[in-house]
Structure 1
Amino acid sequence: MKKIFLGLMLSCALLFASIDLNSASKEELMQIKGIGEKKASMIIDFRKKQKINNPKDLLVLKGFGKGLIKNIEKDVKVKEAKK
């Protein structure tokens, strides 16, 4: 019973946790609807070159349209990247 309860609590925590675009792992980014392995890699490469201040910053990447940006905005937060 304890294992089931802990599993449910962990699932809820992950469900309501927001993802930080400036520090999320590839696997975390892939949890966003519409983000697969390739787009997650694109985000990681992009943030190595410049800080992401807003999900709309990703519109410059090929394949990132307004619909995908809306999905990202639902699931992420943007925290200032370390300098």
Structure 2
Amino acid sequence: MEKTFQKLRQVNKSLKKCSKELQNIRQLPFYNLFKQETQRKSDEESLNATIQELLAKRAALLEKLKQKIVNAQHTINKQAA
């Protein structure tokens, strides 16, 4: 279960980094200064795709963790009976 928690923490950390990067892309004047609006959109799309992948991975990890908890509860209940 600890490995799943560690993976979940890492995914959350990556999500936070991507969100910050996306916010920076939207705020930085760099793209306007160098007439690179197309690049900004491309960068945003790339980060949004990464965020979606990370969200899917987080959902899968949470489901896996939930299943492990249910299995542990069943084991405890069997031992108590």
TM-score range (shorter-chain normalised) is 0.3 to 0.5
Q: TM-score, normalised by structure 2?
A: 0.32
Q: TM-score, normalised by structure 1?
A: 0.32
State the structure with bigger RCO (CA 8 A, min sep 6), 1 or 2.
2
Greater percentage in strand:
1
